[in-house]
Amino acid sequence: MSKFYLHKGYTYEWDPAKAAENLHKHKISFEVACEVFDDCRIQSTRDRTEEQLLAVKAEEIDTRDAPALSDENWANAERGKFYRPRKVQKTVRIDADVIYWLESKGPGYQTRINAILREAITSEQK
C-alpha cells in the first residue's frame, strides 16, 4: 500500500517496502531523498515542450556532475539498442482483403503493418 509524504507543498507517493530497502541499501530515507527537489541547481523540464528541449544546444547543458567516459567505457556499447520510435496515431484506409490477411495471422496486425512498412523503408534506403 502506498504512503504519502508532504514536503514543502508537494505530495510524494512512495512504497514503504521500497523505502525500507533503499534506506538499508543507500543509507538514506525517503524523506531526506525528497529534499533533492529543494536544490536550487535543479532544472525542471516539466514545463518545456519537446521542441524546446530539442532546441537546447549541447554547450548549454551543464555536465559538471557527469563523469567523462573513455573509449573503453564505450567498447561494448550498442547503438540504438533501447531506441523505440515514437508512435503516432493515424487513420488510414486499407483494402479489406489486405486487413483480413493481416488479421488472419493472429493478434498484432498493427505491429505487422508497422514491420512491413519499416522493411519497405529499410530496403528503399539501401
Q: Could you report the per-residue pLDDT of 5-63, keeping only the tens digit for each?
A: 777 777 777 788 888 888 888 888 877 877 776 766 666 666 677 788 888 888 888 88
The answer to whether residue 49 is domain-embedded is no
For residue 28, being part of any structural domain is answered with yes
Does 64 map to a domain? no
20 inside domain: yes
Domain contains 5: yes
Of the two residues 9 and 99, the one the predictor is more confident about is: 99
**Model pLDDT, residue 45:** 60
Q: What is the pLDDT of the chain when averaged over all its residues?
A: 84
Distance CA 55, CA 50 (A): 9
Give the pLDDT confidence score for residue 123 in this predicted structure.
92
Query: What pLDDT score does 43 carry?
Result: 61
Could you list the residue range(s) of the whole structural domain that residue 102 is in? 84-126
Question: Does 59 reside within a domain?
Answer: no
The answer to whether residue 111 is domain-embedded is: yes
What is the number of structural domains in the chain? 2
Torsion of CA 76, 80, 81, 85, to 10 degrees: 170
Residue 100, pLDDT score: 96
Task: Give the per-residue pLDDT at 126.
Answer: 81
In this prediction, residue 105 carries a pLDDT of 94
Per-residue model confidence (pLDDT) at position 46: 62
Kindly report, residue by residue over 2-17, the tens digit of the pLDDT. Answer: 777 777 777 777 788 8
Query: Mean pLDDT over residues 87-106, rounded?
Result: 94
> What totals of helices (H) and strands (E) does the chain contain, helices first?
5, 2
Residue 16 maps to a domain: yes
Helix orientation angle between 109-125 and 96-104, rounded to the nearest 10 degrees: 110
